[in-house]
Amino acid sequence: MDYEKIGALIRRLRQERGLTQRELARDLSLSPKTVSKWERGGGCPDVSLLAELSAALHVDIPALLAGQLSENRLTGGSMKQSRFFVCPVCGNLSVCTGNAAVSCCGRPLEPLTPRKATPELALHVTESDGDWYIESSHPAEKDNYISFLALVTGDSLLVLRQYPEWELHARLHGRPHGKLVWYSTTQGLFYQLV
C-alpha cells in the first residue's frame, strides 16, 4: 500500500466534502493529529475504521486503499450503452449508462451481458391502438419469473419492474423503437429489437 497516495486521496475527498481535519476526526472519534498523519503519508487508517471512513468520504473501500479513483470516459450520451446489474441476493436492479463499479448486499456486481432471445424465449410484442402490447409465456412463479422489462432507445430508458407471480402484460405508449431487454431470474438477461 502506498501511504502517500492514500493520504493524498483522503485529503482530496475531505476537501471535496468541505470538511476540516478536525471535523473528519470528530466524525470518526479520532484526534485531528491522526487525520493529519494519514494525509501526510505517515500512516494508514486502521482496518476497523475503513467502513466508517469510506462512508464519511463517500468512496468505496477498494478505491480508498488503492489511493485513486477511476474516472469513466464520456459515452456520448447514448442510452444504448446502458449496463444492467442484478444482485443475486436481494434481486435489486441497478442501471448505469457507462462503466461503473456497482455493489449490493456487500458483493461487487458484474454487468450482465444480454443474449439475443430465441424465438421460443422472445416476448410476444403486438401493435394495439398505436402502442406496443407485450406479453410473455415465461413462468410467473415465486422463484422463476421476469423481474424487469426495459426499453432502451438512443435517448431514453424505460424500466418496468415485475414481481414474483406477476404475469407479464405491459403497454408501451407510442410504439417506440429500440431494444427490449428483460431479465429472467433463472435464465438471465435477454434482448430483442422492436
Q: pLDDT for 96-129, tens place per residue? A: 987 788 999 988 999 999 999 999 999 999 998 8
Given this model, what pLDDT does residue 39 score?
94
The pLDDT value given to residue 5 = 92
Q: Which residues contact 26 (CB under 8 A, 6 or more apart)?
A: none
Superfamily of domain 3-66: lambda repressor-like DNA-binding domains (1.10.260.40)
User: Which architecture characterizes domain 79-193 according to CATH?
Assistant: Sandwich (2.60)
What is the SS3 assignment for 25?
helix
**How much is the pLDDT for 1?**
81
Spans of all domains in the chain: 3-66, 79-193
* Confidence (pLDDT) at 37: 94
Give the confidence band of 154 by pLDDT, cuts at 50, 70, 90. confident
Cβ neighbours of 10 (radius 10 Å): 24
Residue-wise pLDDT tens digits, 6-53: 999 999 999 999 999 999 999 999 999 999 999 999 999 999 999 999
The per-residue pLDDT for 155 is 86
Residue 73, pLDDT score = 58
**Amino acid 77: pLDDT:** 58
Query: Is residue 178's pLDDT more than 60?
Result: yes
More reliable by pLDDT, 80 or 2: 2
Reference 59, options 8, 132, 25, 125; nearest CA is: 8
C-alpha cell at 104: 449490493
- State the pTM of this model: 0.67
Q: What is the pLDDT of residue 71?
A: 66
The yes-or-no verdict on residue 59 having pLDDT over 80 is yes
pLDDT at 63: 87
Contact 184, 149 (CB under 8 A): no
69-91 pLDDT, tens digit per residue, is 876 555 555 777 889 999 999 99
Which pLDDT value is given to residue 72? 54
